[in-house]
Each structure stands twice: as C-alpha cells, then as structure tokens.
Amino acid sequence: MLLEMRKIAVNYGKINAIRDISIAVPEGKIVTIIGGNGAGKTTTLRAMSGMVPIVAGEILFEGKRIDHLPAHKVVAHGIAHVPEGRRIFKDMTVEENLRTGAFLRRDKPEIERDLQQVYDRFPRLRERRVQRAQTMSGGEQQMLAIGRALMSKPRLLLMDEPSMGLAPVIVEEIARIIEEINAQGLSVVLVEQNAELALELAHHAYVLETGDTAMEGPAHELRGNEHVRAAYLGL
C-alpha cells in the first residue's frame, strides 16, 4: 500500500468530524471518497496531508508514519494536496504559482523540465504565464492548482472537489487530465460530490456517511449497488 489510514478520528472542538475511518490507497490507483455534505470527506483528506490533527489512529505513507507531521512537512514525503476551492495565489502570476509548488525542491534543471511538462499538459497556462492568477476562469484556476501540485513531484495526489463550480465540458477536461496523470503512474485520492464522475474515474471507492465508512469496494461494483444508486447517483 502506498498510503494507509488506520482507524482515524478527527474532532473539531468537541464534535466528532470523522471516527474510525480506514482507507488504503494502492500504488498507481485512483481511490475515491464520496458522500453527502458533512460526511467527512474533506476532513479525511485534510487529515492525510496534515492540515488537521488526528485524535486516534495512524497514517502510513510508504510504510512510514506521517500522522504527527505538520502540513508543510508532509509535502516533503511526496503527497500533494489540491485543496477545495483551488486556493491558488491570486496576486501572483501563473508561473510564480507553479514555481511555488516546487518550493521544497532544489533540483533546478528538473524543476525547469517539469515546468515545461505542466505547460505542455495545460497549454492555456503557458499562454497566461505572466498573467495574475486571479484573472483566469474557474477551469483555468483548477488547472493551475493541479499544475502547482504536480510541481512538487508527488507520488500521491489528493484532490478535493476538482469539478466544483465548473461547466460540464470543463469537468470532462479535468476528468481526462486526472486519468492521464494516473496513467503516467501517479496515485490519486479523489474526493467528490459528483459521485457519478468519481465512480467512473476511480478503481476503488469509499462511501462516507456522517463521519463513518458506510461502504467500500471496487468502483464498478459500487456503481451497481442499489443504495449507492439511489442515494448518490440519483437513479
């Protein structure tokens, strides 16, 4: 397993946000976490990247415990997090955003090469490289957020609601990009409200309900499950 979460609990004040959640991410796969509002999807992802402290359980990445590390140290282990709402640096240019993604790296020639790769993958970012990030459309900002995460050269990409607020045609484009990135060997954890999209992309899926794991299994099996179809796919 690339990443293993074992019996994790996170509290916000006295409130139990998630409890007893276990998630395993195999190397090279896309794992999705779906569920309704307040089910604990984002909290689970934030626990993985060290953004919220866990009160129980452990998180292992490549066999090493990372659950005691602050967020800025988790990145160094090879986990990049594309946060909900993109959270790009609005007053910085596109290229400054991307280079900030490589903050911890010192391998200059490879950084330049990876930058060109990001531009090849997202030609619109190259066109806008000296433009302030704020001036871009939602889809372009999402691409920038993904590109910024890729610049840290991660082995695991955490994505929180990448389809949120985007037009269907852009969502298709983002989905294709996620598949492409994964095909090149990067493992992905995808948190999505759009369960249909998530189950189509993922190999394995977890369904969270009020802070607990309600179901888990291969994505194609969950797509056929009665409960999932009724509650999350609207079928």
Partner 1 sequence: MMELLAQTGLNAVYAASYISLVAVGLVLIFGVMGVVNFAHGELFMAGAYAVVALYADMHLPFFVAVPIGMLFVGMLGLLMEWGLFRPLKDNPLGGLVASIGFLMILQSLAVMGFGVRMEHIPPVTQEVWRITDKVGVPVARLYVIVAAVVLLSALWYFLKRTRFGWALRASAQDPEAAALQGISITQTARIAMFIGAALAGVAGALTAPLVSVNPHMGHSVIVTAFIVIIVGGVGSLEGAIVASVVYAFVHTFVTTFSDGVLADIVGLSLMLVVLIVKPTGLFGSADRA
What phi-psi label fits residue 165: left (phi over 0), alpha (psi between -120 and 50 degrees) or beta? Answer: left
Tokens of 87: 């959270």
Q: Is residue 49 at the binding interface for partner 1, with CB under 8 A as the rule?
A: yes
Give the alpha-carbon dihedral of 147, 151, 154, 158, to 10 degrees.
-30
Q: Is 12 in the site for partner 1 (CB under 8 A)?
A: no
Could you tell me how many residues of this chain bind partner 1 (CB under 8 A)?
25
Residues numbered 145-164 forming contacts with partner 1, rule: CB under 8 A: 148, 152
The Cα 85–Cα 67 span in angstroms is: 24
The residues in 105-144 that bind partner 1, with binding defined as CB under 8 A, are none
Least CB distance to partner 1 at residue 157 (A): 12
- Give the residue from 197, 143, 170 showing the smallest Cα distance to 30: 197
- Segment lying near partner 1 (by CB under 8 A), choices 58-66, 85-93, 168-176, 227-235: 85-93
Closest CB to partner 1 among residues 8, 45: 45
Q: Using the rule CB under 8 A, is 92 a contact of partner 1?
A: yes
Residue (142 or 152) nearer to partner 1, CB: 152
Among the listed residues 90, 113, 176, 227, the single contact to partner 1 using CB under 8 A: 90
Among 81, 128, 204, 223, binds partner 1 (CB under 8 A): 81
Q: What is the 3-state secondary structure (H, E, C) of 185-228?
A: CCEEEEEECCHHHHHHHCCEEEEEECCEEEEEEEHHHHHHCHHH
Minimum gap (Å) between residue 213 Cβ and partner 1: 25
Exactly one of 26, 29, 55, 99 binds partner 1 (CB under 8 A); that residue is 99
Provide the minimum distance between the beta carbon of 158 and partner 1 in the complex, in angstroms, as a whole number.
9
Contact 215, 228 (CB under 8 A): yes
Q: Does 83 bind partner 1 (CB under 8 A)?
A: yes
Whole-number CA gyration radius for the chain? 17
Instruction: Name the residues that contact partner 1, by CB under 8 A.
Output: 49, 51, 70-73, 75-76, 80-81, 83, 87-92, 96, 99-101, 103-104, 148, 152
